Amino acid sequence: MRLLIIGRLNGELVTASRIAMSRGAAVTQADGIEQGLNALRAKGADLVMVEVSLSIRTLVTALADERIRTPVVACGTGTDAKAAVAAIQAGAKEYIPLPPDPELIAAVLEAVTADARSFVWRDASMERVVKLAEQVARSDASVLITGESGTGKEVLARYVHTRSNRAQKPFVSVNCAAIPDALLESELFGHEKGAFTGAVARRIGRFEEANGGTLLLDEISEMDVRLQAKLLRALQERVIDRVGGTQPVKVDIRVLATSNRNLAEEARKGTFREDLLYRLNVVNLRLPPLRDRPSDILELAGHFARKYAEANGIAPRPLSAEARRLVAQNPWPGNVRELENTLHRAVLLASGPEIDADAIRSPEGEALASGSPAARAVQAAEAVTRSFVGRSLADVERDLILDTLDHCLGNRTHAAKILGISIRTLRNKLNEYTGAGIPVAEPGHTRGLAAYG
Ligand SMILES: Nc1ncnc2c1ncn2[C@@H]1O[C@H](COP(=O)(O)OP(=O)(O)OP(=O)(O)O)[C@@H](O)[C@H]1O
Ligand SMILES: [Mg+2]
């Protein structure tokens, strides 16, 4: 945990920094906003505490412009409520009154590092993934973490870092999909002052920021092929070139990468370098979708119910039996993220002594049973797949044709188009069915064959 303190406040911030250090934080100090920004550009930090009388807006705006995502917390002498409000409006995440309360400082530090600790699993399929993660955590091997969106790839990456020999060093994450191609190179490798318009000062890149620790290249499949070549060199030779720089810089990092696309497939298509894939994919941790880890669903639901009760100052409540049934049966196409958001809402919506099924709702307030369109599609697809097994091809074909006709309200032209067959073939099939004496009012069909004749 790297803490940057900007300002002095008659020594009050020195006390705060002592408290933080006693909790294991590495503290740097800067006198003003400009020095603070330079320290962030030069070394990075996990949290900034800034004296409230300094221009927090200037700081927050500069950080946003330069895409430095370190959270900012304002500090000031306790009684100045106006300054506290102004600080929050300017973009500070929290306001800490001084003189510092050791418990409060500890709580803020903990909130910043909390992500790394809440990694919950129970299902046997996850047990295997976690075991493999623990086995490789202590090596410096690159790890590729794959899985559908929301399955917890970033959570697992942090877990690997905390279990590694680098745990006390920085964990730095770069979202390759969120940063425009033209800027990603300087984000990763840094730049020298004047390297391009807007390069107002030397800034170190994420590789240097992560030095000694772990670098997570999130959504690496989105990286431009040209930059992939530079990344490969950095990984092979353990040196980087800042944009506009003349001297290569040595770096000591462990790289983790995530992707929700199949990189082998991307490599075949030529959008991802095969040599880079081999470099990254020394170990592949594959996170199963949440629907394939049934024992995790209720475990995670309970975890999120407790987490959001605590965050909102509400007494924790258990899920009712009906709510548990609903949650356990839902297909969760958005995986853990969707489950988390749903439980967050449920904690806020529930009114009784338990979290009831009624509180388990979509973001639009619909009951979960009817679900999101995506959830319904997955449910329908699963129902269809289940109903196929054990039936003959001819049988399934007939049902598909009749269902499609049904869907098209008997319009043969439209149905044939959807089915990808000619109208003549469709007509022949229908004749076959009536000729075979199939009852005109099939169960499940609202209009019988007669209506289509
Ligand atoms: N095993 C877990 N225990 C606790 N929380 C989890 C777990 N897995 C995921 N989460 C939570 O679910 C959310 C999504 O997780 P995360 O961001 O790691 O997913 P992801 O696979 O990286 O998704 P994306 O592909 O969309 O980036 C986060 O809020 C995370 O804290
Ligand atoms: Mg992610």
Q: How far is the CA of 381 from the centre of ligand 1 (A)?
A: 25
Protein residue closest via CA to atom 28 of ligand 1 = 337
Residue 11 has pLDDT above 80, yes or no: no
What pLDDT shows up at residue 381? Answer: 62
Q: Give yes or no for residue 334 CB within 6 A of ligand 1.
A: no
Structure-token pair, residue 300: 């995670």
Question: In this structure, how many other beta carbons lie within 10 angstroms of the beta carbon of residue 245?
Answer: 15
What pLDDT shows up at residue 441? Answer: 37
Within 8 A by CB and 6+ apart from 404, the residues are 415, 418, 419
Q: Which of 224, 295, 305, 299 is nearest to 266 (CA)?
A: 224
CATH code, residues 124-286: 3.40.50.300
Q: Give yes or no for residue 341 CB within 6 A of ligand 1.
A: no
* Residues 323-364 pLDDT 10s: 999 999 999 999 999 999 999 999 999 998 999 999 999 888
Give the ligand whose atoms come closest to the C-alpha of residue 152. Answer: 1
Domain ranges of the chain: 2-113, 124-286, 291-385, 390-452
* Residues 102-152 pLDDT 10s: 788 778 777 766 654 589 999 999 999 999 999 999 999 999 999 999 999
Match 């770096």 to its residue by tokens: 251
Ligand 1 binding pocket mutation candidate from 118, 336, 338 (most atoms within 8 A of CB): 336
Ligand 1 binding pocket mutation candidate from 125, 128, 155 (most atoms within 8 A of CB): 155
Give the ligand whose atoms come closest to the C-alpha of residue 156. Answer: 1
Dihedral sign for Cα 369, 371, 373, 377, please. Answer: negative
What pLDDT shows up at residue 117? Answer: 57
Protein residue closest via CA to atom 8 of ligand 1 = 152
CATH architecture of the domain formed by 291-385: Orthogonal Bundle (1.10)
Residue 372 has pLDDT above 70, yes or no: no
* Residues 40-84 pLDDT 10s: 988 888 899 999 889 999 999 998 888 787 889 998 887 778 888
Q: Which of 12, 39, 19, 37 is nearest to 28 (CA)?
A: 39
CATH architecture of the domain formed by 390-452: Orthogonal Bundle (1.10)
The answer to whether 183 and 67 are in contact (CB under 8 A) is yes
Q: Give yes or no for residue 375 CB within 6 A of ligand 1.
A: no
Grouping H, G, I as helix, E, B as strand and the rest as coil, residue 216 is: strand
Q: Give yes or no for residue 289 CB within 6 A of ligand 1.
A: no
What is the gyration radius of the CA atoms in the chain, in angstroms? Answer: 28
Give the ligand whose atoms come closest to the C-alpha of residue 339. Answer: 1
Q: Fold identical between 2-113 and 124-286?
A: yes
Q: Give yes or no for residue 336 CB within 6 A of ligand 1.
A: yes
**Rounded distance, CA 368 to CA 347, Å?**
15
Share of the chain above pLDDT 70, in %: 90
Q: How far is the CA of 23 from the centre of ligand 1 (A)?
A: 27
Q: Give yes or no for residue 70 CB within 6 A of ligand 1.
A: no
Domain 2-113 has CATH 3.40.50.2300: yes
Q: Give yes or no for residue 121 CB within 6 A of ligand 1.
A: yes
Residue 371 Cα distances to 2, 289, 344, angstroms = 43, 18, 16
* Residues 389-447 pLDDT 10s: 777 888 889 888 988 887 777 778 778 888 888 888 888 888 888 766 544 333 333 33
Report phi then psi at 83, rounded to 5. -65, -35
* Residues 176-186 pLDDT 10s: 988 888 889 99
